[in-house]
Structure 1
């Protein structure tokens, strides 16, 4: 509370530095936005959970074709080894 001037005694005049008067001219104040102060704030936390979410959404598009491809390659390798073995050649009567 303060008094003086054309103010009524006991009337609130404002916080320190602006005691009810007009703002001062020629005073410039600067501030930084929060993303300028900490540009990588929360990046690691968001990366972990965002990566898990993206993995969970795309796992059904990637894993089944990979499993089918692996099983096909495994079958083809075993079949090739059998056909090039002594038993395979004897079974299919291939002569040179």
Structure 2
């Protein structure tokens, strides 16, 4: 009595977990054509609120480092412009 799907007289030995069950009768399956389905129904609406919910929960993990990095880059740019200006070269000319 293996599970290979062999049919014994009067008894169906089904696949895994269905060994020794009765013969199947009246199996009905329904389907819907692919062009009748709305596969993306509500996706845009759900995406907006899902993005808002996830962003609200994670904003402190990325906004603070983003602001610190922006301020550091702004300071470095201004410092570089000053050091390469006439006043900056005059002030730090003897340090190199």
TM norm. shorter chain > 0.5: yes
TM-score by length of 1: 0.56
Q: Deviation per CA, 1:38-73: give whole Å up to 9, x if none.
A: 322222221111111111112111111111111111
Structure with bigger RCO (C-alpha 8 Å, 6+ apart): 2
Structure 1, unaligned stretches of length 5 or more?
1-25
- How far the C-alpha of 1:94 sits from its partner, in A, is 3.1
Let me know the Cα RMSD of the aligned residues: 2.9
How far apart are the structure 2 equivalents of 1:65 and 1:86? Answer: 34
Structure with the larger strand share: 1
The residue aligned with 2:30 is 31
TM-score by length of 2: 0.56
Instruction: Give the total of aligned pairs.
Output: 69
SS of alignment partner, residue 94 of structure 2: coil
TM superposition outliers: structure 1 runs of 4+ over 6 Å? none
The residue aligned with 1:62 is 62
Rg: which structure is higher? Answer: 1
